[in-house]
Structure 1
Amino acid sequence: MHKYTSLIFILILVLLSGCSSTNFNLKLTTPKSFTPGQATPIQLSIQDQDGKPVKGAKVSAILDMQGMSHGDVSMKMQESGNGVYIGQAKFEMEGDYTANIYIDSNGEKWKGEKRFSIVYNKAQ
Protein backbone atom coordinates (compact mmCIF):
# COMPACT_ATOMS: atom_id res chain seq x y z
CA MET A 1 0.00 0.00 0.00
CA HIS A 2 2.88 2.35 0.78
CA LYS A 3 4.23 1.90 -2.78
CA TYR A 4 0.94 3.03 -4.31
CA THR A 5 0.71 6.05 -2.03
CA SER A 6 4.24 7.10 -2.99
CA LEU A 7 3.50 6.57 -6.68
CA ILE A 8 0.33 8.65 -6.52
CA PHE A 9 2.16 11.42 -4.64
CA ILE A 10 4.94 11.52 -7.25
CA LEU A 11 2.43 11.63 -10.11
CA ILE A 12 0.59 14.53 -8.47
CA LEU A 13 3.87 16.45 -8.11
CA VAL A 14 4.74 15.85 -11.76
CA LEU A 15 1.30 17.05 -12.88
CA LEU A 16 1.47 20.15 -10.70
CA SER A 17 4.92 21.09 -11.94
CA GLY A 18 3.72 20.73 -15.55
CA CYS A 19 0.78 23.04 -14.87
CA SER A 20 2.84 25.84 -13.37
CA SER A 21 4.03 27.32 -16.65
CA THR A 22 2.96 30.90 -17.34
CA ASN A 23 0.22 31.47 -19.83
CA PHE A 24 -0.75 34.80 -21.30
CA ASN A 25 -4.09 36.29 -22.21
CA LEU A 26 -3.94 37.56 -25.79
CA LYS A 27 -6.22 39.93 -27.67
CA LEU A 28 -5.44 40.23 -31.38
CA THR A 29 -6.86 43.24 -33.20
CA THR A 30 -6.78 43.30 -37.01
CA PRO A 31 -8.54 45.48 -39.57
CA LYS A 32 -11.46 43.90 -41.41
CA SER A 33 -9.84 44.66 -44.79
CA PHE A 34 -6.47 45.34 -46.41
CA THR A 35 -5.03 46.94 -49.53
CA PRO A 36 -2.68 44.65 -51.48
CA GLY A 37 0.95 45.81 -51.40
CA GLN A 38 0.41 48.09 -48.41
CA ALA A 39 1.33 47.45 -44.80
CA THR A 40 -1.59 46.49 -42.58
CA PRO A 41 -1.31 47.16 -38.81
CA ILE A 42 -1.76 44.21 -36.46
CA GLN A 43 -2.14 44.89 -32.72
CA LEU A 44 -1.67 42.42 -29.89
CA SER A 45 -2.53 43.10 -26.26
CA ILE A 46 -0.80 40.76 -23.80
CA GLN A 47 -1.75 40.29 -20.15
CA ASP A 48 -0.45 37.85 -17.58
CA GLN A 49 -2.71 35.48 -15.63
CA ASP A 50 -3.41 38.26 -13.10
CA GLY A 51 -4.65 40.60 -15.84
CA LYS A 52 -1.56 42.84 -15.70
CA PRO A 53 -0.02 44.12 -18.95
CA VAL A 54 3.09 42.22 -20.04
CA LYS A 55 5.80 44.82 -20.65
CA GLY A 56 9.24 44.51 -22.21
CA ALA A 57 8.64 41.19 -23.99
CA LYS A 58 10.08 40.16 -27.33
CA VAL A 59 7.10 39.38 -29.55
CA SER A 60 6.87 38.06 -33.08
CA ALA A 61 4.17 36.42 -35.16
CA ILE A 62 3.91 34.23 -38.21
CA LEU A 63 0.66 34.63 -40.12
CA ASP A 64 -0.33 31.48 -41.96
CA MET A 65 -3.22 31.40 -44.42
CA GLN A 66 -5.30 28.34 -43.65
CA GLY A 67 -5.36 25.74 -46.40
CA MET A 68 -2.71 27.47 -48.51
CA SER A 69 1.02 26.85 -48.85
CA HIS A 70 2.09 30.06 -50.59
CA GLY A 71 4.35 31.13 -47.75
CA ASP A 72 3.88 32.70 -44.38
CA VAL A 73 3.95 36.36 -43.41
CA SER A 74 6.30 36.91 -40.49
CA MET A 75 6.67 40.06 -38.43
CA LYS A 76 8.34 41.35 -35.32
CA MET A 77 6.10 43.34 -33.07
CA GLN A 78 7.17 46.47 -31.20
CA GLU A 79 5.78 47.49 -27.84
CA SER A 80 3.76 50.68 -27.97
CA GLY A 81 3.09 50.76 -24.22
CA ASN A 82 0.99 49.12 -21.51
CA GLY A 83 1.35 45.57 -22.86
CA VAL A 84 0.30 46.47 -26.41
CA TYR A 85 2.49 45.32 -29.31
CA ILE A 86 2.14 46.43 -32.94
CA GLY A 87 3.41 44.90 -36.17
CA GLN A 88 2.91 45.49 -39.88
CA ALA A 89 1.94 42.74 -42.35
CA LYS A 90 1.60 42.81 -46.13
CA PHE A 91 -1.27 40.55 -47.16
CA GLU A 92 -1.57 39.30 -50.73
CA MET A 93 -4.76 37.26 -50.41
CA GLU A 94 -7.98 37.59 -48.47
CA GLY A 95 -9.07 34.69 -46.32
CA ASP A 96 -8.76 32.97 -42.97
CA TYR A 97 -5.42 33.22 -41.17
CA THR A 98 -3.80 31.78 -38.07
CA ALA A 99 -1.43 34.05 -36.18
CA ASN A 100 1.24 31.93 -34.47
CA ILE A 101 2.44 34.24 -31.72
CA TYR A 102 5.84 33.87 -30.02
CA ILE A 103 6.49 35.63 -26.72
CA ASP A 104 9.77 35.79 -24.81
CA SER A 105 9.09 37.46 -21.46
CA ASN A 106 11.74 37.48 -18.74
CA GLY A 107 13.48 34.49 -20.34
CA GLU A 108 10.31 32.42 -20.50
CA LYS A 109 9.31 31.44 -24.03
CA TRP A 110 5.71 30.80 -24.95
CA LYS A 111 3.72 30.17 -28.13
CA GLY A 112 0.05 30.85 -28.71
CA GLU A 113 -2.26 31.25 -31.65
CA LYS A 114 -5.20 33.37 -32.70
CA ARG A 115 -7.35 33.10 -35.82
CA PHE A 116 -8.79 35.92 -37.89
CA SER A 117 -10.24 36.69 -41.31
CA ILE A 118 -9.44 39.58 -43.61
CA VAL A 119 -10.78 40.69 -47.02
CA TYR A 120 -9.67 43.06 -49.81
CA ASN A 121 -10.39 46.74 -49.28
CA LYS A 122 -13.26 47.38 -51.74
CA ALA A 123 -13.07 51.19 -51.35
CA GLN A 124 -10.31 51.60 -53.97
Structure 2
Amino acid sequence: MKKFTSLLISLIFILLTGCSANDFEIKLSTPKSFTPDQATPIQMKILDREGKPVEGAKVSADLDMQGMSHGDISMKMEEKGKGVYVGQADFEMEGDYTAAITIDYKGEKWLGEKRFSIVYNKAQ
Protein backbone atom coordinates (compact mmCIF):
# COMPACT_ATOMS: atom_id res chain seq x y z
CA MET A 1 0.00 0.00 0.00
CA LYS A 2 2.88 2.36 0.80
CA LYS A 3 4.40 1.86 -2.67
CA PHE A 4 1.05 2.54 -4.33
CA THR A 5 0.59 5.77 -2.35
CA SER A 6 4.12 6.92 -3.25
CA LEU A 7 3.52 6.11 -6.91
CA LEU A 8 0.19 7.97 -6.89
CA ILE A 9 1.74 11.06 -5.26
CA SER A 10 4.61 10.98 -7.79
CA LEU A 11 2.19 10.79 -10.73
CA ILE A 12 0.12 13.67 -9.38
CA PHE A 13 3.28 15.75 -8.96
CA ILE A 14 4.36 14.98 -12.54
CA LEU A 15 0.94 15.96 -13.87
CA LEU A 16 0.91 19.22 -11.92
CA THR A 17 4.42 20.05 -13.10
CA GLY A 18 3.41 19.37 -16.70
CA CYS A 19 0.35 21.60 -16.40
CA SER A 20 2.45 24.52 -15.22
CA ALA A 21 4.91 24.31 -18.11
CA ASN A 22 6.37 27.51 -19.51
CA ASP A 23 3.81 29.76 -21.10
CA PHE A 24 6.50 31.35 -23.26
CA GLU A 25 9.47 30.40 -25.38
CA ILE A 26 12.29 32.92 -25.07
CA LYS A 27 15.04 33.18 -27.63
CA LEU A 28 17.83 35.27 -26.10
CA SER A 29 20.30 36.99 -28.44
CA THR A 30 23.43 38.50 -26.96
CA PRO A 31 26.64 39.60 -28.64
CA LYS A 32 29.68 37.40 -28.06
CA SER A 33 31.68 40.38 -26.77
CA PHE A 34 31.26 43.83 -25.24
CA THR A 35 33.21 47.07 -25.14
CA PRO A 36 33.75 48.52 -21.64
CA ASP A 37 31.94 51.83 -20.98
CA GLN A 38 29.53 51.20 -23.87
CA ALA A 39 25.98 49.88 -23.72
CA THR A 40 25.56 46.38 -25.11
CA PRO A 41 22.24 45.44 -26.77
CA ILE A 42 20.41 42.39 -25.41
CA GLN A 43 17.50 41.07 -27.48
CA MET A 44 14.75 38.58 -26.73
CA LYS A 45 12.15 37.10 -29.03
CA ILE A 46 9.17 35.90 -27.02
CA LEU A 47 6.68 33.40 -28.41
CA ASP A 48 3.52 31.98 -26.84
CA ARG A 49 2.62 28.27 -26.56
CA GLU A 50 1.41 28.23 -30.17
CA GLY A 51 4.64 29.81 -31.41
CA LYS A 52 3.06 33.21 -32.07
CA PRO A 53 4.95 36.42 -31.18
CA VAL A 54 3.96 37.93 -27.82
CA GLU A 55 3.11 41.60 -28.28
CA GLY A 56 2.21 44.17 -25.64
CA ALA A 57 4.01 42.53 -22.73
CA LYS A 58 6.04 44.34 -20.09
CA VAL A 59 9.43 42.65 -20.04
CA SER A 60 12.43 43.20 -17.79
CA ALA A 61 15.61 41.30 -17.03
CA ASP A 62 18.16 41.25 -14.24
CA LEU A 63 21.57 40.03 -15.33
CA ASP A 64 23.68 38.40 -12.64
CA MET A 65 27.26 37.27 -13.11
CA GLN A 66 27.55 33.72 -11.84
CA GLY A 67 29.79 33.34 -8.81
CA MET A 68 30.12 37.08 -8.20
CA SER A 69 28.21 39.37 -5.88
CA HIS A 70 28.73 42.88 -7.12
CA GLY A 71 25.16 43.64 -8.12
CA ASP A 72 22.74 42.84 -10.87
CA ILE A 73 22.39 44.70 -14.13
CA SER A 74 18.69 45.62 -14.40
CA MET A 75 17.08 46.29 -17.77
CA LYS A 76 13.62 47.25 -18.91
CA MET A 77 13.11 45.78 -22.32
CA GLU A 78 11.58 47.93 -25.06
CA GLU A 79 9.17 46.30 -27.48
CA LYS A 80 10.26 46.51 -31.12
CA GLY A 81 7.38 44.51 -32.62
CA LYS A 82 6.66 40.90 -33.65
CA GLY A 83 7.61 39.58 -30.19
CA VAL A 84 11.05 41.24 -30.15
CA TYR A 85 12.16 43.11 -27.01
CA VAL A 86 15.50 44.95 -26.67
CA GLY A 87 17.41 46.34 -23.70
CA GLN A 88 20.85 47.80 -23.06
CA ALA A 89 23.33 46.41 -20.55
CA ASP A 90 26.54 47.98 -19.22
CA PHE A 91 28.89 45.07 -18.58
CA GLU A 92 31.98 45.60 -16.43
CA MET A 93 33.37 42.08 -16.50
CA GLU A 94 33.44 39.20 -18.93
CA GLY A 95 32.05 35.89 -17.77
CA ASP A 96 29.00 33.70 -17.42
CA TYR A 97 25.69 35.45 -16.70
CA THR A 98 22.15 34.46 -15.84
CA ALA A 99 19.29 36.58 -17.14
CA ALA A 100 16.33 36.46 -14.73
CA ILE A 101 13.47 37.44 -17.03
CA THR A 102 10.08 38.79 -15.92
CA ILE A 103 7.18 38.91 -18.37
CA ASP A 104 3.93 40.64 -17.42
CA TYR A 105 1.38 39.74 -20.09
CA LYS A 106 -2.39 40.14 -19.89
CA GLY A 107 -2.28 40.50 -16.11
CA GLU A 108 -0.19 37.40 -15.47
CA LYS A 109 3.47 37.34 -14.50
CA TRP A 110 5.98 34.75 -15.62
CA LEU A 111 9.55 34.35 -14.39
CA GLY A 112 12.27 32.51 -16.27
CA GLU A 113 16.02 32.26 -16.70
CA LYS A 114 18.44 32.12 -19.59
CA ARG A 115 22.23 31.78 -19.38
CA PHE A 116 24.90 33.24 -21.61
CA SER A 117 28.59 34.13 -21.70
CA ILE A 118 30.26 37.31 -22.88
CA VAL A 119 33.91 38.43 -23.24
CA TYR A 120 35.75 41.72 -23.70
CA ASN A 121 35.92 43.04 -27.23
CA LYS A 122 39.65 42.77 -27.80
CA ALA A 123 39.51 44.61 -31.15
CA GLN A 124 39.38 48.01 -29.38
Instruction: Answer whether TM exceeds 0.5 for this pair.
Output: yes
* CA distance in 2: counterparts of 1:22 and 1:29, whole angstroms: 19
User: Deviation above 2 Å: which 4+ runs of structure 1?
Assistant: 15-18
Distance 1:33 1:20 in 2: 35
For the aligned residue pairs, the C-alpha RMSD in angstroms reads 1.9
Q: Which secondary structure does the structure 2 equivalent of 1:122 belong to? A: coil
Runs (5+) with no aligned partner, structure 2: 1-7
- 1:39-78 to structure 2, matched below 5 A, reads 39-78=39-78
Cα separation, 1, equivalents of 2:52 and 2:67: 35
Cα distance in 1, alignment partners of residues 22 and 66 from structure 2: 28
1:81 aligns with 2:65: no
* 1:23 Cα deviation after fit: 1.3
The whole-number CA distance in structure 2 between the counterparts of 1:81 and 1:114 is 21
**1:91, distance to aligned residue in structure 2 (A):** 0.1
The one-letter code of the counterpart of 1:91 is: F
Q: Look up the match of 2:35.
A: 35
Provide structure 1 residue ranges, at least 5 long, that are not aligned to the other structure: 1-7
Q: Does 1:91 align with 2:111?
A: no
Query: TM-score, normalized by length of structure 2?
Result: 0.85
Q: Work out which of the two has the higher radius of gyration on C-alpha atoms and give 1 or 2.
A: 1
How many correspondences in the alignment?
113
Q: CA deviation at 1:52?
A: 0.4
